[in-house]
Amino acid sequence: MEHDEPGRALTDAELEANSAAAIRAIETVEPILSYDTANNLQMAIAQYEPFVMAGGWEQVPQETYGVTMGVRRDGVVQLKRRLLSSADMAMVDQVDEAFDGPTDAALRRFQARHGLQVSGQVDEPTWYALNVPAEARLHQLRLNLLRVQAMAPALADRYVVVNIPAAFIEVVEGGMVQRRHTAVVGRIDRQTPILKSRIHQINFNPFWNVPVSIIRRDLIKYMNENPNYLTEQKIRILDGNGQEVQPSSINWQTEEAVNYRFRQDPGPLNSMGNVKINFHNPHAVYLHDTPTKGLFGDNARFLSSGCVRVDQVQDFVSWVLRDTSGWASGEVGNVFATGERKDVDVRNPVEIHTTYISAWANRDGVVSFRDDVYEFDMAGKVTFET
């Protein structure tokens, strides 16, 4: 049963302030791969262990679906108790069924900690995250502590981390995170591999050579649905001699297409966007820009075929090229603007790690969790093949 809460509604500015406070709470300058994060995880484990021994938190009923500021509804009492249990909500004298200002602030903080849209509404992803048992979260903390401890000792002074479960990138220097970038990483059936390498080359306004796996899985299907697809996407077909082949000469009812090379011209449609960022690896993956910037606003950014798309990529590339002659601040933007096709070798190639950290904590004791998208937590993996 639901009805309007007679108390004062929050203004848009107050709701935005709650969101800002939630995001500030999870901010940290400690790199996710660091001794600092290992220490923070140990403190979080010490907090969770007695709580789990005491029975953990209760489940939140489905009646809370869609609940938001200004209503009373069955289930809000359990929601509040759940938010109190995980320290998202400050202790109160009495827990009632009103979704009020403190509840809104607490729910937004919970959403920020779990990488969800900070909406102040119990949507489906939020409800599922609320109902992960405390015991499962403790297991995540212990497993990720072992991962961080295994990697922290062998890091360079200047490095990049792609954290796959969080779908973000950290740029680290001198033991501090200089900036974070939202990312789009490989979907479950085309996973971003876990590896260590060095960023050695930047391709500005590149051609995109379509991998055979994408020709087989995607392009043949798209051509059967729309025979003009390649032309519309400015993708050319080249034979073994580099001569262009017309799409109409290929039998799209078969896999004949995999015998040819498919190359997308530079420009606004190019899947690489304005730049491709190369590092040596056996998986043919790389970082790159994208023409579909809207994906960076999604909750679950597991949408690529294994490569990693980088938001605010211009700033990222400027940092990578900082020590490279002729690439002062602003020069990257100039090449983006002109569309000039250019390859640049990186002076002092930057170490890059793609890794899998699904739980971490900051020095204020605020713990963040992410879904076990590739089921490596379920498998108990601590170290990974690179």
For residue range 133-155, list pLDDT tens digits in order: 999 999 999 999 999 999 999 89
Q: How far is CA 197 from the centre of its chain?
A: 20
Mean pLDDT along residues 164-193: 95
Give the span between the Cα atoms of 255 and 31, in whole angstroms: 45
* pLDDT reported for residue 295: 64
| Three-state SS at 21 | helix
Going from the C-alpha of 245 to that of each of 162, 240, 262, 270, 272, the distances in angstroms are 38, 10, 10, 20, 23
Give the span between the Cα atoms of 204 and 133, in whole angstroms: 47
Mean pLDDT along residues 275-290: 94
* pLDDT reported for residue 43: 96
Task: Read off the pLDDT of residues 230-267 as tens digits, 9 standing for 90 and up.
Answer: 999 889 999 989 899 999 999 999 999 999 999 998 88
Task: Read off the pLDDT of residues 79-119 as tens digits, 9 standing for 90 and up.
Answer: 999 999 999 998 887 888 888 899 999 999 999 999 999 99
Give the span between the Cα atoms of 43 and 54, in whole angstroms: 18
What φ, ψ does residue 261 adopt, rounded to 5°?
-100, 135
Q: Which amino acid is at 183?
A: A
Least confident of 247-256, 290-299, 311-320, 372-381: 290-299
Kindly report the number of other CB atoms within 10 A of residue 315's CB atom.
Answer: 17
Q: Are 176 and 322 in contact (CB under 8 A)?
A: no
> 2.30.110.10, 3.40.630.10, 2.40.440.10, 3.40.50.720: which CATH number matches 155-206+268-355?
2.40.440.10
Compare 319 and 6 and report the one with higher pLDDT: 319
In this model, does residue 5 exceed pLDDT 50? no
| Three-state SS at 133 | coil
Q: Are the folds of 2-30+57-132 and 155-206+268-355 the same?
A: no
* pLDDT reported for residue 1: 45
| CATH number of the domain located at residue range(s) 2-30+57-132 in this protein | 1.10.101.10
pLDDT exceeding 70 applies to what percent of the chain?
95
* pLDDT reported for residue 300: 67
Give the span between the Cα atoms of 61 and 155, in whole angstroms: 44
pTM of the model: 0.86
Compare 305 and 47 and report the one with higher pLDDT: 47
Confidence of residue 8 (pLDDT cuts 50, 70, 90): low
Neighbouring residues of 312: CB distance < 8 A, sequence distance ≥ 6? 181, 182
Q: Which amino acid is at 48?
A: Y
The pLDDT mean for the chain works out to 91
* pLDDT reported for residue 118: 95
Task: Read off the pLDDT of residues 309-364 as tens digits, 9 standing for 90 and up.
Answer: 999 999 999 999 999 998 987 899 999 888 889 999 999 999 999 999 999 999 99
What φ, ψ does residue 178 adopt, rounded to 5°?
-80, -35
Give the span between the Cα atoms of 60 and 293, in whole angstroms: 35
Domain extent listing, the chain:
2-30+57-132, 155-206+268-355, 209-264
Per-residue HEC secondary structure of 32-80 comes to CCCHHHHHHHHHHHHHHHHHHHCCCCCCCCHHHCCCCCCEEECCHHHHH
Q: Are 309 and 288 in contact (CB under 8 A)?
A: yes
* pLDDT reported for residue 3: 47
